[in-house]
Amino acid sequence: MSGSAASRVVDAAAELFAERGYQATTTRQLAERAGVNEVSVFRGFGNKQGVLAAVVGRVVAEQPGRAASELTGLSLREAVTALAQREVTNGLRDGGLMTRLAFEARTVPEVAELFAGGPQANLAAMAAFFADRQRAGQVRPDLAAETVAEAFFSLTSSFVIMRTVLGFEAGSDAQVEQSVAGLVELFLSGAEAHR
């Protein structure tokens, strides 16, 4: 399977898994949506779980925790803003998919197995980022880095869930950026070290 065909299958799977769920989506539907034959799906991914692994892998690769370690030259505010913008942008794009998979993970073992590692790794990477900033005197030392990371995700996830699940309007890119700036201000008002 060519790279573009594989990418089309992953895109189709992300759409179908968000619309119908993993269990209700067939490999035939994946192939039809991607414009390939079903045999190509099996050759390229082995089975539907292989497609799910590729979808989850793509989402995980774009999570803010992956970028946190690259932001060492930025101020705390600049870094947190960049990470929040990444989390919100990705969440608005993938929120329906991730919400559906999160619910299916409770009852579908293969979804649980693949899904669980992503959010945990993202949280751990963000906790490491905040721990580094604590050592640099930029984040209050009296808070556990994991708690700071959870607070970060509480704000960004709430913003995303309200728009992808509850139907609140996201607004223009400029409005989303302004909302993210407000979330960062709210977050840092409680987490930024006072000197």
- Give me the tens of pLDDT residue by residue for the chain, a chain 195 residues long: 677 899 999 999 999 999 999 999 999 999 999 999 999 999 999 999 999 999 988 888 887 777 887 888 899 999 999 999 999 998 888 888 888 888 898 999 988 888 777 778 889 999 999 999 999 999 999 999 999 999 999 999 899 888 888 888 888 889 999 999 999 998 898 655 666
| 66 shares its domain with 137 | yes
Residues in the chain: 195
Single-letter residue type at 172: S
Q: Do residue 68 and residue 122 come from a single domain? A: yes
Same domain as 77, residue 13: no
Q: Are residues 40 and 78 in the same domain?
A: no
Same domain, 69 and 36: no
Question: Based on the domain organization, do 34 and 130 belong to the same domain?
Answer: no
Determine whether 29 is exposed, middle or buried from the number of CB atoms within 10 Å of its CB (0-12, 13-18, 19+): middle
From the list 92, 79, 76, the residue with the least C-alpha distance to 179 is 92
User: Are residues 79 and 174 located together in one domain of the fold?
Assistant: yes
Q: Structural domain tally of the chain?
A: 2
Residues 31 and 75 grouped into a single domain: no
Domain that holds residue 83: 62-191
Same domain (yes/no): 181, 110? yes
Tell whether 78 is covered by a domain. yes
68 lies in the same domain as 29:
no
